[in-house]
């Protein structure tokens, strides 16, 4: 039996792409899913699909930029399943543009979703893991959390921040003996709806070109399952997953 069986897993950004694929992968291995995102119709459809294959899933419409909604998500998970084993901090947006374009509203949104969303989830969900002395936080950073490129400056900044949060959380939980594992996942180009969040036409065209080699979201879902299914004394801390032919 997989060690994923009966684990309660919250996934933010579960309504598409990597989050949706991860929900399906973990459901097939017996996890109990708590699906979160803003689009209710997508969450409902995913819940139905999981239940149709005999899996267990609940959903809560959640905007990760709201501390209150994040706390309500944690409460929902605890009420439905009695514990939270894994948090997959996956919700993210990537409206890329050169700094000179001054898309300040998009900078704000990226910081709110990609950084504050991750922190709000940690604030709402990790305390119950500390109490149980058991848990696993999986944060979606990116290759953009390792490399900086023109047009990606603010997005890269948010993904560098996610890596810093992952490593800081890892060190603090290890120091305090809470038994909480932390995994930072850095995908390369993956097919999803993420490129649709880039509004700048020239930038979008360039990204479409780069994403010609993109791999399926399932590839990242399998990687996340691999990190979860290790024995509890083994923490996979860093994962970089690119298409084989992606150069940088
Ligand atoms: N695709 C790639 O090439 C790639 C590479 C490296 C890293 N990543 C990272 O992987 C993660 C998942 O991205 P993806 O590729 O799967 O993109 P995606 O298909 O666009 O999925 C993004 C998810 O985030 C959710 N989301 C956005 N804003 C939200 C908010 N305010 N509150 C709650 N949920 C929100 C969306 O749901 P709603 O709109 O329904 O809320 C959606 O489910 C992101 O953190 C991304 O940065 C992706």
Q: Residues lining ligand 1, CB < 6 A?
A: 12-13, 15-19, 37-39, 42, 62-65, 90-94, 113, 140, 142, 187, 189-190, 192-194, 217
The alpha carbon of 162 and the centre of ligand 1 are apart by a number of angstroms equal to 14
Q: Strands 238-241 and 180-187: what pairing?
A: parallel
Q: 10-60 pLDDT, tens per residue?
A: 999 999 999 999 999 999 999 999 999 999 999 999 999 999 999 999 999
What 3-state class would DSSP assign to 175? Answer: helix
Q: What mean pLDDT, rounded, does the chain reach? A: 97
In a domain, 1, yes or no: no
* Residues in the chain, overall count: 248
In a domain, 205, yes or no: yes
User: Radius of gyration of the chain from Cα atoms?
Assistant: 17
Confidence check: pLDDT of 169 > 80: yes
Please report where in the chains the tokens 């024995």 appear, as a residue: 231
* The two three-digit tokens of residue 157, written as one number: 């900044």
* Residue-range definition of the domain harbouring residue 25: 8-241
In a domain, 246, yes or no: no
In a domain, 3, yes or no: no
Average pLDDT of 157-183?
98
Q: How confident is the model at residue 2 (pLDDT cuts 50, 70, 90)?
A: confident
146 to 124, 130, 169, 211: CA distances (angstroms): 27, 29, 18, 18
168-182 b/e (C-beta count within 10 Å ≥ 16 → b): ebbeebeeeebbbbb
Nearest residue to 237 (alpha-carbon basis) of 188, 181, 187: 181
User: Which of 14, 37, 117 should be mutated for ligand 1, with most atoms under 8 A from CB?
Assistant: 37
The alpha carbon of 194 and the centre of ligand 1 are apart by a number of angstroms equal to 6
What 3-state class would DSSP assign to 89? Answer: strand
Q: 210-239 pLDDT, tens per residue?
A: 999 999 999 999 999 999 999 999 999 999
Higher pLDDT, 200 or 105: 105
Active site residues: 155
Query: How many domains, in total, are found in the chain?
Result: 1
In a domain, 2, yes or no: no
Residues in contact with 107: Cβ distance below 8 Å, sequence separation at least 6, in sequence order? 154
CATH code, 168: 3.40.50.720
The alpha carbon of 229 and the centre of ligand 1 are apart by a number of angstroms equal to 23
Q: Are 170 and 153 in contact (CB under 8 A)?
A: no
114 to 25, 38, 42, 212: CA distances (angstroms): 23, 15, 21, 25
In a domain, 247, yes or no: no
In a domain, 29, yes or no: yes
In a domain, 19, yes or no: yes
């Amino acid at each position: 039996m997989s060690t994923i069986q009966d684990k309660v897993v919250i996934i933010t950004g579960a309504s598409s792409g990597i989050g949706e694929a991860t929900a399906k992968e973990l459901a097939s291995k017996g996890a109990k899913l708590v699906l979160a995102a803003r689009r209710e119709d997508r969450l409902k459809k995913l819940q139905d699909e999981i239940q149709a294959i005999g899996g267990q899933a609940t959903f809560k419409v959640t905007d990760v930029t709201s501390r209150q909604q994040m706390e309500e998500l944690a409460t929902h998970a605890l009420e439905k399943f009695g514990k939270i084993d894994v948090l997959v901090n996956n919700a993210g947006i990537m409206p890329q543009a050169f700094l000179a374009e001054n898309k300040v509203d998009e900078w704000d949104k990226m910081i709110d979703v990609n950084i504050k969303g991750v922190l709000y989830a940690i604030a709402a969900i990790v305390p119950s893991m500390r109490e149980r002395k058991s848990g696993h936080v999986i944060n979606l950073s990116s290759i953009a959390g390792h490399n900086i490129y023109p047009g990606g400056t603010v997005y890269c900044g948010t993904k560098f921040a996610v890596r810093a949060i992952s490593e800081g959380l890892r060190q603090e939980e290890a120091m305090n003996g809470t038994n909480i594992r932390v995994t930072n996942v850095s995908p390369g180009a993956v097919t999803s709806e993420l490129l649709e969040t880039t509004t700048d036409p020239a930038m979008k065209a360039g990204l479409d070109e780069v994403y010609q080699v993109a791999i399926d979201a399932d590839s990242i879902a399998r990687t996340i399952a691999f990190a979860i299914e290790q024995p509890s004394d083994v923490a996979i801390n860093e994962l970089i997953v690119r298409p084989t032919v992606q150069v940088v």
